[in-house]
Amino acid sequence: MMARFPEAPSADDSLALKTYVQLFARLYPCGDCAAHFQKLLAKYPPQVSSRNAAAGWACFVHNEVNTRLEKPLFDCGKIGDFYDCGCGDDKKKGPETAVRAQERGERDGKGSPATGKEE
């Protein structure tokens, strides 16, 4: 979602994303997860001034969750290289991303499907 957020969002775009994130935290089906995410939002409010700000914020918050769950952190410097929303106009932009190959279950030749992590 953040990868499709406008580079220069309108006030309405920014409000829509902030509202979406707040509702996501409120309506998340796991009560413990929802409560924790709401605390994260209070500490780190959504950044909606641009696509890069929104994507960087989302990655940072995701890594906060990963830290809590003792999962590996994602390299936020690679967001643009990793995500493919599957939108029709993205096909014109160049080679397929790892996510698209992973969705189809293809392997990248380095280990697990399209991640490069050794199995």
State the total domains in the chain.
Answer: 2
Q: What pTM does this model have? A: 0.68
Contacts of 111 (CB under 8 A, 6+ apart): 117, 118, 119
Phi and psi torsions of 100, nearest 5°: -60, -45
pLDDT at 4 over 90: no
pLDDT at 19 over 90: yes
Domain extent, residue 29, equals 2-70
Cβ pair 62, 73 in contact under 8 A: no
**Does residue 109 share a domain with residue 61?**
no
Residue 75 covered by a domain: no
**Does residue 88 share a domain with residue 56?**
no
* Local confidence band at 42 (pLDDT 50, 70, 90 cut-offs): very high
**Does residue 94 share a domain with residue 50?**
no
Work out the angle between the directed axes of helices 51-68 and 31-43 (0-180°, nearest 10): 130
pLDDT at 28 over 60: yes
pLDDT at 99 over 80: no
